[in-house]
Amino acid sequence: MTTKRVTMIKLKEILRLKFEAQLSLRQIASCLGLSVGVISKYLQRAQAAGLGWPLPEGMTEVQLQDVLQPPRKQADAVPIAEPDFDTMEDELKTKGMTRQLLWEEYAASNPDNHYSYSRYTVLFKRWRRKQQLDAPAASGWRKAVHRLLRANPVRGES
């Protein structure tokens, strides 16, 4: 989930309200409609960069943005281990086996790259639904066809 970036006007206002007006974090948050955590984050970044109010001469908005809103780091794309739903389906047929137990085994075998339990169950339910849609209903489908053929026999032309 991505969050909206704080505008440059609000970034400057955070610094001005803190250093010139001497307001508290809560007061600044209330004035700007931001959370206390966001205000704290930007003030910590400003302090680490040695920024105060007024801004240093010649500091452009681009430079200020680079200091207060550095580019987001891309998370290392570690592929998530895919569960074996075929085996899971078979194991669920044994007495006492639950999705929770199967997920715990899956998570233990893939400690650094596994799905959360809720995501695991959603994926399993989707997989199961797809399996049911892909496989024709052996007895129900055939019975329906035979019933239709008996009720409306196809007459061949002679």
Please give the full DSSP string across 67-119, using - where no structure is assigned. Answer: HHSPPPPPPP-PPPPPP-HHHHHHHHTSTT--HHHHHHHHHHHSSSS---HHH
Average pLDDT, the chain: 84
**Same structural domain, 54 and 97:** no
**80 in a domain, yes or no?**
no
**Same structural domain, 147 and 89:** yes
Query: Torsion-angle region of residue 58: left (phi > 0), alpha (psi -120 to 50) or beta?
Result: left
Alpha carbons 129 and 85: distance in angstroms, whole number: 12
pLDDT reported for residue 131: 82
Tens digit of each residue's pLDDT (9 = 90 or more) over 93-113: 999 999 999 999 999 998 888
Tens digit of each residue's pLDDT (9 = 90 or more) over 114-124: 999 999 999 99
**Stated pTM of the model:** 0.48
Q: What is the distance in angstroms between the CA of the first residue and the CA of the last residue of the chain?
A: 69
Task: Judge contact between 68 and 100, C-beta under 8 A.
Answer: no
**137 in a domain, yes or no?**
yes
**Same structural domain, 56 and 90:** no
**Same structural domain, 92 and 144:** yes
Domain residue limits at 126 = 85-151
**Same structural domain, 131 and 91:** yes
